[in-house]
Amino acid sequence: MPSYERRCDPQPSAALPARRGRRHRALGRMAAVVGLVVAAAVSAPSPAAQAAPTAVALEKVGDFGANPGSLNMYVHRPTTLAAEPAVVVALHGCSQSAQMYADNAGLVKFADQHGFLLVFPEQTSANNSSKCFNWFQPGDTRPGQGEAASIRQMVAHAASAYGADPERVYVTGLSAGGAMTSVMLAAYPDVFEAGAVIAGLPYDCADDVLSAYTCMSPGVDRTPSAWAQGVRDANPGHGGPWPRVAIWQGDNDPTVAKRNADELRDQWTAVHALDQSPDRTSVIGPNSTRREQYLTADGSVAVEVDKVPSLAHGTPVDPGTGAQQCGATGTANFIDSICSSYWITGFFGLDGADPDPGGLPAPSGLAATGATDTSLTLNWNAVGDAASYAVYRDGARVATPTGPPFTDTGLSPASRHTYSVAARDTTGREGVRSATLTVSTTGATAKCWTANNYQQVQAGRATTSGGYTYAKGSNQNMGLFNTAVTHTLKESPAGHYVIADGTCS
């Protein structure tokens, strides 16, 4: 949970840079710096837990850039480092260190096996009294700013100093590190190929102390499109491709409510223009972890959710020497369950295995052949052995015609929609989805919404900062963020909202 230490408010060090000092004083008035306090979430290791592991060899890097977030950088370089190695950034949880995460999480085993470079950013108590990454502070979660920028500079340094491949960069982390993983994927989608969020939060869920508590538990419910818009707003110049995301969540996590796994899924499936129904489900590992996978048009996994039975708040590990075992449990928040690092390494594609899309091939040639104010007609090339097709609009399945063409009706004038199509066999099993097609109906009727400020934010038409609500695009101040203030917002052009009380038509 957010870290409010029940003692005197911390005072900023006189040696702190001005930016850090101002932040520290502001959060001190709230009783301490917020973060995901890992130690409060998990009971002590069981008597059967193994002793502390031998310390992993880490190299501290003293000069990797301007470092606006004032973080430390550590690197684990395997004895046999691959030529142009991939980079995995590993973000520790609260009250942890780079060394603790390296020693216990199990990633080092697979870095040594497969020759990729591990980068361990480390938070300092000067930034956050509980050593949590500041995943909820706007100054640390936007491109080119604060801690997010420091981590980006570490990746750049890895490429220049160690010859790492800038096209194969990945990020994972636990708790506050998991939330910061979401930050890095949203802030730098052009840098990270994929990420794995362990007991973390959706991007842009919180921007202050109070909202951070709500995000963690009971969690915040937004529509998939609203969550996705938060990611797109972080880097509006980026049109794709987007990072792939694995989400790991324990069923018994008392700190980060398990609904956050669903909200993360909603966020990243919507970013990838997919629906929220899994294309494949399976059971993995020694404890029957439930895996849901969401596939892109080429059959690769864009998003997966791994729900771990009986797991509290921590990194799932499985100590031992087996191929699918890793990690240590001698320290709190590394929990004997399943070696998540083994599966995450595979999800990143760093274990040499090939994906298995399966099913019928994707229909080709998806095109719009007609449009009216309220309908769109689609056509595509038929797939052999297909009994029917599934048509998806904006990630949701809307029809299962027996073949093309298909006319989607009941749409709004001047509305924009993204479609994909999958072939279905005689059992109804869907194959790989087609490439997406984005097309608009005709007409120019303006879209208007009347709702209270809370509802406007939840729908993704407005944002909140400092207790106030602002229309997205125009940034007009809509007043206090609550349910008592109501406005009409007009969208013109798409994604740009202005206050239009009593004038929207």
Residues 222 and 121 placed together within one structural domain of the fold: yes
Whether residues 436 and 451 fall in one domain: no
Q: What is the mean pLDDT of the chain?
A: 86
pLDDT of residue 354: 46
In this structure, is residue 355 part of a structural domain? no
In this prediction, residue 141 carries a pLDDT of 96
Co-location of 434 and 338 in the same domain: no
Amino acid letter for position 234:
A
State residue 443's pLDDT score.
77
**Do 303 and 198 lie in a common domain?**
yes
Residue 289 or 239, more confident: 289
Asked if residue 184 lies in contact with residue 192, where contact means CB atoms within 8 angstroms, the answer is yes
What's the predicted TM-score (pTM) here? 0.67
Beta strands in 346-413 (DSSP E): 367-371, 376-379, 388-393, 396-399, 406-408
Is residue 484 predicted with pLDDT exceeding 80?
A: yes
Q: Are 385 and 397 in contact (CB under 8 A)?
A: no
pLDDT at 173: 98
Does 468 have pLDDT greater than 80? Answer: yes
Place of tokens 């040499």: 352
**Lowest-confidence segment of 201-215, 365-379, 439-453 by average pLDDT:** 439-453
| Per-residue pLDDT tens over the stretch 129-140 | 999 999 999 999
Residues 315 and 178 in one domain: yes
Q: Quote the tokens at residue 41.
A: 């979430």
pLDDT band at 265; cut points 50, 70, 90: very high
Other CB atoms within 10 A of residue 298 CB: 14
Q: Strand, coil or helix: what is 114?
A: helix
Q: Are residues 160 and 286 in the same domain?
A: yes
Structure tokens belonging to residue 382: 């038929």
Residue 245 pairs in a beta bridge with: 195, 303
Domain co-membership, 489 together with 397: no
Residues 392 and 298 placed together within one structural domain of the fold:
no
Given a cut of 60, whether residue 434 has pLDDT beyond it is: yes
pLDDT at 446: 65
The C-alpha atoms of residue 407 and residue 371 are separated, in whole angstroms, by: 9
Give the domain range for residue 329.
Answer: 18-347
The answer to whether the CB of 362 falls within 8 A of the CB of 382 is no
Residue 215 has pLDDT above 60, yes or no: yes
Alpha helix segments (H runs only) across 332-415: 340-347
**Range scoring the smallest mean pLDDT among 163-172, 238-247, 358-367, 451-460:** 358-367
174 and 322 co-located in one domain: yes
Instruction: Between 160 and 358, name the one with better pLDDT.
Output: 160
Question: Can you give the pLDDT at residue 395?
Answer: 67
Is 397 a domain residue? yes
Average pLDDT of the segment spanning 321-347: 94
Confidence (pLDDT) at 353: 63
- Cα–Cα distance between 233 and 470 in angstroms, integer? 14
Q: What is the pLDDT of residues 276-304, one digit of tens each?
A: 999 888 899 998 999 999 998 778 899 99
Pick the last residue of a domain from 440, 463, 480. Answer: 440
Assess whether 386 and 311 both reside in one domain.
Answer: no
**Residues whose CB is less than 8 angstroms from the CB of residue 44 and which lie 6 or more positions away in sequence, other chains included:** 332
**Strand duo 376-379 + 406-408: pairing:** antiparallel
Co-location of 56 and 143 in the same domain: yes
Rounded Cα distance between 422 and 405, Å, is 14
Number of domains in the chain: 3
At residue 357, the pLDDT reads 43
Q: Which residues 6+ apart lie within 8 Å of 368 measured at CB? A: 376, 377, 378, 437, 439
What was the pLDDT predicted at 11? 28
324 and 180 both lie in a single domain: yes
pLDDT at position 396: 72
Return all residues near 66 (Cβ < 8 A) that are at least 6 apart.
149, 153
Q: Where does a domain end: 347, 380, 412?
A: 347
Residue 476 CA neighbour count, 13 Å, CB half: 16
**Residue 277: active-site member:** no
Bond from prior residue into 493 cis (ω within 30 degrees of 0): yes
Cα–Cα distance between 227 and 209 in angstroms, integer? 20
Segment 318-343 shows an average pLDDT of 94
Rounded to 10 degrees, the C-alpha dihedral 401/402/406/411 comes to -10
Q: Is residue 52 part of a domain?
A: yes
Note whether residue 455 is domain-resident. yes
With cut-offs at 50, 70 and 90, classify the pLDDT of residue 493: low
Q: What is the CATH number of the domain that holds 266?
A: 3.40.50.1820
Identify whether 12 is part of a domain.
Answer: no
In a domain, 45, yes or no: yes
Residue type, 127: N
Residue 106 · residue 317 · CB < 8 Å? yes
pLDDT in tens, 148-157: 999 999 999 9
- In sequence order, the 6+-apart residues with CB closer than 8 A to the CB of 412 are 374, 441, 445, 447
3 belongs to a structural domain? no
**pLDDT given at position 441:** 87
Q: What is the CATH number of the domain that holds 401?
A: 2.60.40.10
Catalytic residue among 175, 182, 341, 415: 175
